[in-house]
Amino acid sequence: MSTIELRHYITEELSLIDDDSFLKAIKTIIESKANEGVYKLSDFQKKRIESGREQLRKGQSISNDVLQKEIDQWLNTK
């Protein structure tokens, strides 16, 4: 049975079920699968991302090469 056929079959069968607790259990399973792999950012993380984007818009960034040199210099002074 293909994925499309399975979806159709499940939809048809679910439409015949009146057991509220069973349907809620199915809903929970579906929600957990639908949200799988979706990472939710905290408000702090969202603010930090926006801060970084604002720095980029203002041209307040350096290349990875320059950053690596600064890190190497810093490590060599310790």
In eight-state DSSP terms, residue 15 is T
How many Cα atoms are found within 13 Å in the side-chain-facing hemisphere of 59?
A: 0
Which pLDDT band, with edges at 50, 70 and 90, does 78 fall under? low
| Pair 10, 23: CB distance under 8 Å | no
- Rounded to an integer, the average pLDDT of 51-68 is 94
Residues 22 and 47 in one domain: no
State the Cα–Cα distance between residues 16 and 48, nearest whole angstrom. Answer: 48
pLDDT value at position 32?
83
Supply the range of the domain harboring residue 57: 43-76
State the Cα–Cα distance between residues 17 and 5, nearest whole angstrom. Answer: 19
Domains held by the chain: number: 2
State the Cα–Cα distance between residues 3 and 46, nearest whole angstrom. Answer: 36
Q: What is the pLDDT of residues 7-39, one digit of tens each?
A: 999 999 999 999 999 999 999 998 888 777 777
pLDDT value at position 38?
73
- The chain-wide mean pLDDT, for the chain, equals 91
